Chains A and B, each alone.
Chain A
Amino acid sequence: MTAMLSRPRRRGVRATLLVLPAVIPVAIVVIGGIGTTVVQSLGLMPLVGTPALSVKTFEGTDDLLSSALLSLGIAVVSTAIAAVVGFFTAVLIISGNWGGRIVGALSAAAVTVPHLVGAASVGLLLSDSGVLARIFGIPPESWPALVAGPTWFAVIAEYAWKESAFIALIIVGTLATRITSYDETAAVLGAHRGARLRFVVLPLAAPSLLVASTIAFAYTLGSYEVAWLLGKTYPEPLSVMALRLFNSASLTARPEAAAVAVITLLLTAAVVVLAMLGLRRMRAWQ
């Protein structure tokens, strides 16, 4: 009797013990990291002096708004490109033709490239003395300022390149096993290729497209090295601003860096919540 009663509880304890080793480092990093950042941003953890609660770092930090808008702009444009390219790449891969196999291998290769390496390559490719300028024989003074220019072209291109490969692979992963039978079913019900793409493939891919795009968006918003390497020095995206303040000699800069980080966290959280609401609506009609 007691054995029977204690069984499920023991199983619960065992499950908790299995989860704990993963939960502990994640909790330290996420809760500890965010907590300390928030505490710092509120002036409760200064490098020198006495802690005092204040929100003046959020007001005192110059250009916070323009940086936030810039970060959002870069993330929106690059994620939008990545979502469109990623979806069509996934459709090509799923079709399974030889072309799809080549595209599948190339996009898988792009996913494994570190963003920093991607940024370095895009720099070598697009700068005014870059490989493209040389191949087309265009002198540096006539080549548009793609790297470190006002359009943030190279930064957006790098994000769109890497994240389109990521989005494509996520969609392929969720569709590959079941899309063929649904595609065939739709075809024998008389749906031509365009109708199948619109009524079957796109809606089936939509949830994973949304999730993958949200991950890509959050990554782009919080990423540092690409914008730092390929971007203009002013105005600067949130991440670059935060790191510059963090490394600056000024003692007041640390709380300001933390404030920038908190702004970024809030923006990311807002986007994630919106995406989850969207996902719930999608699931509702499933």
Chain B
Amino acid sequence: MTVTTTSVDLDTARSNQQQRRMPGDHGRPLTQSRGLARALRILSTALIALWFALPFLPLVLWSFADQWMHPAAFPMETGTDGLTAAIANGGGRAFLHSLALSLVVAAIATPLGAMAARALSRGQVRFGKAITVLLFSPVMLPPFAAVLGLNVLLLRAWVPPVVGVVLVLVAVAIPYTTFSMRAAYAAYDDGFDEAARTLGASSRLTLWRIHLPLIAPALARSAFLAFLVGWSDYLITLVVGGGHLVTLPLIIASSASGVGNESSVAVLSLSAVIPPLILLGLIARSRNLDPGRQR
């Protein structure tokens, strides 16, 4: 009888010791604290949680307040008056406009950013540094400074206002999509594409069946950032759109600058907060397709 060799060779083994444990997991003494340190830690956690949560409080309270006279600490009557007023102000249409605008911006800025990131991460672009600076510059650019000039430029070029809004928002979103895709491509292993090609796949097939599925999670994150740019914008839609495109932030601004329509502002604001949160939840749940480190 011969015993087969079970070598003590363990290249695949590390996975077991490093099974994706986070620092705070049970049994990790480094991030556990005791005594006074523990009390301080809980206190600071609570304070920071309060800091981030507090601005959401008036939205929730006012959204369902039909009657809330001043001295009362909490709404006296709850109901859907705020919702009714918000819809009467054109909230429904504005919501749809916002959604359409953000989706269009994401649909354009994401592939543009991904393509630029792909080329830049391979270092084959002439003037790569200058192009990187240019693509990043909209983040630092005060939107009103660009918009004042652009407004004149786009009017003289007969660009329809809505197209102008999309153009400017795409330019503002491109830094986010480009740089999040660049991070993804920095970690991307070209070996997968090469392996597919050596297995007989055409470049088109490799793109659709190998490349895109592997970078899909990063594309989703980029698209989310571009969506947020469109969804959050107020000034560009106001000035470049010139009133032709009424989005949710425009309605919120006109309601909030008035007096006495708190519950309508709260409902509109809540409806502007919830869609990104849903998308965020979806993205957080979709896990990276992690091919692992294959050496």
Contacts and interface: CB of A to CB of B under 8 A. Distances in A.
Interface in A66-120: 85, 88-89, 92, 94-100, 102-103, 106-110, 112-120
A225 B234 contact: yes
Contacts, number: 290
B88 interface: no
Interface residues of B, number: 94
A230 B73 CA distance: 23
Contacts of B235: 224-225, 243
Contacts of A165: 52
Interface stretch (B89-97, B135-143, B192-200, B205-213): B135-143
A229 B234 CA distance: 12
Nearest to A27: B134
A28 B141 CA distance: 13
Contacts of B33: 193
Given A18-B119, A106-B52, A112-B280, A30 B70 contact: no
Interface string B231-263: 111110001000000000100110011000010
Contacts of B71: 134, 137, 139
Contact of B148 (A129, A257, A272): A257
A205 interface: no
Contact of B49 (A15, A19, A88, A99): A99
Interface of B: 22-25, 30-33, 37, 41-42, 44-46, 48-49, 51-59, 61-62, 68, 70-74, 112-113, 115-116, 118-120, 122, 124-126, 131, 134-135, 137-150, 152-153, 167-168, 170-172, 174-175, 178, 228, 231-235, 239, 249, 252-253, 256-257, 262, 265-266, 269, 272-273, 276-277, 279-280, 284
27 contacts: A18-B119, A25-B170, A26-B174, A29-B150, A30-B146, A33-B168, A36-B152, A38-B149, A95-B31, A97-B45, A99-B45, A113-B272, A117-B252, A117-B269, A120-B256, A124-B265, A134-B70, A137-B73, A161-B51, A165-B52, A215-B140, A218-B142, A242-B144, A243-B144, A243-B235, A261-B149, A264-B142
Interface of A: 11-12, 14-16, 18-19, 21-23, 25-30, 32-40, 45, 85, 88-89, 92, 94-100, 102-103, 106-110, 112-125, 129-131, 134-135, 137, 139-140, 158, 161, 164-165, 179-180, 183-184, 187, 193, 214-215, 218-219, 221-225, 229, 239, 242-243, 246, 257-258, 261-262, 264-265, 268, 272
